[in-house]
Chains A and B, each alone.
Chain A
C-alpha cells in the first residue's frame, strides 16, 4: 500500500502546495469528504431529529430513529404555540426579541463609544481607565449574581426587562469593549488628525470617521450579543417571574413542566421555533461567526 501510494504523491508534490500533504491530508479527497459527512451526520443528528420530530405525532417521536416523518403533521406547531396556562408562545417570542434586540442596541452603542474614548482620546486617568476596562474581562459573573440581583431588587426592577437591558447600555460586557478597543487601535491615527484639522471634534470624528470603519467589530458584537442573550436561560429565569414577562427559554421550560414531557410533538415544534432565529443568523452570517471566534479567541 505505502509503496503504491508513494510515487503518485511524489509527483503531486511538485505541483501542489506542500501543506496538502500534512498529516491526515494523505487521505484521498473523496474519502475525506465521506468521513467529514458521516461525522456531521452523527453530530447534527439531534438537530435533524428535533426538526423532523416536530412534524411527527407525539407517540411516534421517541421510538423512531429516523428523523424523517412518515406523515407530516403541522398541528404540533399550532398546538404548541398555545403554550401553557394561558400564555402563548407569541408572548415568549416577543419578549425574547425585545430583550435580545435591546441588548444588541445597548452593547453596540455603549461599547463602541467607550472603546473610542479609550483608544483615541487623551485625557487624565486614561491608563487607569483602560487598564480597569481590560481587568473587567476577569470579573467573575457568579460573584456578581447575588449583589446585582439585590441591586435590581432595590431598584424595583425585578420582573421587568430592565436588569437584562439597561446594563448593556452601561458597557458592562467587558469582552465587547475590549473587542472594539482592539479593533480601533488597529486603525490609523491620521484619520483622526485629518478630521481634527478639518474642525471635527471628538464626537463628530467618532460619528463620521471611526464608526463607519469599525463595522466588522460591530457586526461581531451584534451577532454574539444576540445569540448569548437569546440563549441566556439563567438571568432570564432569575429576573422574570410573571408569565407575561417570560422569554422563550423560560417558556419552553414551563411548557415542559406543565405537560411533564407528555406532549413531545408540540414541545419539539416550539424548540424548533425557539432556535429558528439562530438558524437564520447562522445561514446569513456563518462567515462572520467563525471569523469572529478565530480572530478573538473566545468561546461561543
Chain B
C-alpha cells in the first residue's frame, strides 16, 4: 500500500504514469463525464443487482403462483398457494400466531433492556467504554449456533437457571421441553442481545440538550418526571427506529427457533416460527412455490405493520424543532 498519498498535500504527486494524462472530457458545467470508467467499476454491482437480486425477486413472485418441486417444471396454479395458506393449512396459521406472539413479547422487552442499560451507562464514568463494549458482547455472539446450544443447557431442567432458582427455594420447570415455556426461553435469548439498540439509545441520549434538564430541575421536576417529560419524548424517534428494526428482525428469527426448539418446530409445534415453517416447506417438503408465496405474505405483512408503526408514530413520536 503506497501510503504517501494518504494526505492532501502528498496527493498531487507526479509519478511516471502521470504523463499518460488521459483526461476525461470536460463538460460545460466543468464536471468531467467518465461514463466508461464508471460503468466498468459498476459492472459487478450491476450484475449482482440484476442477476442476484432483481430477477430472483421477479422470479419468486412468479413461483408463488406455481407448484414446483425442483424435479418437474413449475406448474401455474394461480392463487391456489395463497388460498391454501389461509384456508387449508392450520400449521401455517399456527406458525403466524407463534411468530406474532414472539414478536410482541421479544421486541418491546428487548428495547426495555436496551433502554435501561443505556440510561445506566449514559453518564461519563470511568470504564464506561469497556462496560459498553461488554454489554454489547452478547449481541456479537448471540446469533451463533454455539450460544443457542449453551442457552438450551442453561435452561435445562437441572441447568444453572433452575439451580439459581433453587437457591431461593423455587422449583423451576423443564423450560425447554415444556411447550408452554419454550417460547419464553427463546424470547430470553432475543432480550439477551440488546446491544445494538442499546448503542443507538446511547447515541440518542447524548443528543438531548442539557438545558432541558437544567430548566426542569429549576422548576422542581424530580428524576421520574424528567424521565417521562424530557428523556422519553426526546428519545421517541430513536425508539421508533429501534422498534421497526427489532420488529422486522424478530419476524425473521430462524436460528433460535431451530436450535433451542427441536428443529422441527416442536415440542408440539410450539416453536414453529414462520421462517422455520417456510424452510420446512421449501427444503424438506420441496414445495418451492408454496414457500415462495409464504415469503411474499411475510413481506407484505411486514410492510403493512411497518406502515402502521410509522402511521402511529404521529401520536407518540416527537421530533425536536
Residues of A at under 8 Å CB distance from B?
17-20, 22-26, 29, 32-33, 35-36, 39-40, 43-47, 49-50, 61-65, 110, 113-114, 116-118, 121-124, 126, 129, 132-133, 136, 139-151, 153, 167, 169-172, 177, 188, 190-191, 194-204, 206, 208-209, 212-213, 227, 230-231, 233-234, 238, 248-250, 252-253, 256, 264, 267-268, 270-272, 274-275, 278, 281-282, 286-287, 289-290, 293-294, 297-300
Contacts and interface: CB of A to CB of B under 8 A. Distances in A.
A227 B196 CA distance: 14
A63 B158 contact: yes
B236 interface: no
Contacts of A45: 154, 160
A190 B124 CA distance: 38
Contacts of A272: 146
A183 to B, nearest CB: 15
B44 A171 contact: yes
Contacts of B133: 282, 286-287, 289-290
Contact of A271 (B32, B131, B146): B146
Nearest to A247: B145
Interface residues of B, number: 120
A146 B291 contact: yes
Nearest to A281: B140
B92 to A, nearest CB: 15
A124 B36 CA distance: 10
Secondary structure at the B interface, as helix, strand, loop or mixed, is: helix
A252 B146 contact: yes
Contacts of A248: 145
B141 A233 contact: no
A139 B6 CA distance: 35
Given A124-B35, A133-B45, A172 B5 contact: no
B139 to A, nearest CB: 5
B105 to A, nearest CB: 18
Contacts of A24: 119-120, 122-123, 223
Contact of A144 (B60, B231, B282): B60
A169 B44 contact: yes
10 contacts: A19-B123, A23-B223, A43-B192, A46-B192, A49-B153, A126-B38, A153-B70, A194-B8, A271-B149, A293-B195
Given A147-B56, A271-B146, A36 B195 contact: no
Contacts of B146: 50, 249, 252, 270-272, 274-275
Contacts of A204: 17
A140 B302 contact: yes
B143 interface: yes
A43 B37 CA distance: 51
B199 A290 contact: yes
Contact of B48 (A36, A171, A230): A171
Contacts of A44: 134, 137-138
Interface stretch (B78-86, B248-256, B309-317): B248-256
Nearest to A42: B164
B174 interface: no
Contacts of B19: 199
Contacts of A50: 146-147, 150
A118 B132 CA distance: 35
Interface in B248-279: 249, 252, 254-255, 258-259, 275, 278-279
Contact of A150 (B129, B159, B288): B288
A197 B24 CA distance: 11
A166 B245 CA distance: 28
Contacts of A264: 153
A248 B143 CA distance: 13
A233 B260 CA distance: 14
A71 to B, nearest CB: 19
A252 B145 contact: yes
Contact of B159 (A18, A62, A198, A202): A62
Given A146-B288, A233-B254, 8 more contacts: A18-B210, A36-B121, A136-B49, A151-B51, A171-B44, A201-B22, A252-B146, A268-B150
